[in-house]
């Protein structure tokens, strides 16, 4: 099936995709007394830990700033978006195996599965990000118009995550080693991205290496928007755009050729 056909099938099955997202969300809090409030309480706790613990208890400071909250915001800007990226990646990677029973027994467009996983992760991210923005507003650190830059930034990140997730998800069905390798790889990736430390803290050699890390310019842009209220340096984002496009192209080919044979391996 070509891309067009797949998008059409996706549109026809939008009810199923949205139903799966809703089921995912509700299923998590089903039977709990507080219900959907947990969806807010959980990320709220996360944000509070990052902000209170680092700014008040550990007195962590960013270089060249006096703002006691600067480091916390820096951390949140990188970590929340990184978590979103990883959630899409890891869940796409296992979605075909998780839904093996359905894939083997029922005929439906397979593209609906990665789509629902992506939307589901996006719902979670929206909640925590909304809380984070509320915190910025309350503490008087609202970045203003620079926030608009988040739209293209997140878009690039999503394209990257979905494309990569699709490749991993399909290949993982054939080689379960993929999941293991990704687990190891993500740890390196996380520490090779300036999320918990400022980029000035790493030696020149490592910084040159980071130029190859597609997430580095993205994370750096989030941080500059949130912490310094400055627009991103758009020219730094060209390489990651190209990389995201290539990955989406590869994922398209992988999916077209392997989505069918994949079912026989489940």
Please choose, from the candidates 167, 117, 161, 145, the residue with its C-alpha nearest in 3D space to the C-alpha of residue 17.
117
Q: How many other β-carbons are positioned within 10 Å of the β-carbon of residue 31?
A: 6
Which residue lies nearer to other proteins by CB, 5 or 260?
Answer: 260
185 touches other proteins by CB under 8 A: no
Question: What is the DSSP secondary structure assignment for residue 110, as one 8-state letter?
Answer: T
* Site residues (CB under 8 A) for other proteins, limited to 69-108: 101-108
As a whole number of angstroms, the distance between CA 40 and CA 78 comes to: 20
Please choose, from the candidates 238, 22, 243, 8, the residue with its C-alpha nearest in 3D space to the C-alpha of residue 119.
22
Q: What number of CA atoms fall less than 13 Å from residue 203's CA on the CB side?
A: 2
Tokens encoding 247: 């990955």
Stretch that binds other proteins, among 7-15, 61-69, 87-95, 158-166 (CB under 8 A): 7-15
Exposure string of 231-241, with b = 16+ CB inside 10 Å and e = fewer, is ebeeeebeebb
140 touches other proteins by CB under 8 A: no
Helix (H) or strand (E) holding 149: none
264 touches other proteins by CB under 8 A: yes
Q: How many other β-carbons are positioned within 10 Å of the β-carbon of residue 266?
A: 13
Which residue lies nearer to other proteins by CB, 1 or 146?
Answer: 1
Which residue lies nearer to other proteins by CB, 36 or 53?
Answer: 36
Stretch that binds other proteins, among 15-23, 64-72, 125-133, 161-169 (CB under 8 A): 15-23
Question: What is the DSSP secondary structure assignment for residue 196, as one 8-state letter?
Answer: S
16 touches other proteins by CB under 8 A: yes
Of 38, 174, 191, 234, the one binding other proteins (CB under 8 A) is 174
Of 13, 74, 132, 222, the one binding other proteins (CB under 8 A) is 13
Smallest gap from Cβ 116 to other proteins, in A, equals 11
Stretch that binds other proteins, among 14-22, 141-149, 158-166, 229-237 (CB under 8 A): 14-22
63 touches other proteins by CB under 8 A: no
Q: Which residues in this chain contact other proteins in the complex, by CB under 8 A?
A: 12-13, 15-16, 19-20, 23, 26-27, 30-31, 101-108, 174-177, 260-261, 263-264
């Amino acid at each position: 099936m070509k891309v067009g056909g797949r998008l059409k099938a996706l549109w026809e099955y939008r009810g199923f995709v949205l139903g799966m997202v809703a089921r995912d969300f509700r299923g998590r809090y089903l039977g709990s007394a507080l219900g959907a409030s947990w969806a807010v309480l959980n990320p709220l706790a996360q944000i509070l830990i990052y902000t209170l613990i680092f700014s008040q208890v550990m007195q962590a400071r960013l270089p060249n700033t006096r703002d006691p909250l600067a480091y916390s915001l820096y951390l949140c800007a990188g970590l929340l978006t990184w978590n979103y990226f990883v959630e899409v990646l890891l869940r796409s990677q296992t979605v075909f195996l998780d839904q093996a029973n359905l894939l083997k027994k029922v005929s439906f467009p397979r593209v609906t599965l990665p789509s629902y996983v992506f939307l589901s992760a996006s719902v979670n991210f929206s909640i925590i990000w909304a809380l984070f923005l509320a915190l910025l507003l309350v503490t008087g650190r609202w970045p203003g118009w620079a926030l608009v830059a988040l739209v293209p930034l997140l878009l690039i990140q999503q394209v990257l995550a979905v494309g990569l997730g699709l490749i991993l998800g399909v290949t993982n069905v054939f080689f379960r080693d993929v999941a293991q390798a990704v687990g190891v790889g993500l740890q390196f990736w996380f520490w090779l991205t300036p999320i918990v430390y400022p980029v000035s803290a790493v030696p020149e050699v490592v910084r040159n290496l980071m130029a190859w890390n597609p997430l580095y310019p993205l994370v750096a842009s989030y941080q500059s928007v949130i912490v310094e209220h400055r627009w991103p340096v758009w020219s730094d984002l060209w390489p990651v755009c190209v990389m995201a496009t290539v990955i989406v192209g590869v994922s398209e080919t992988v999916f077209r050729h392997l989505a069918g044979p994949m079912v026989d391996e489940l």
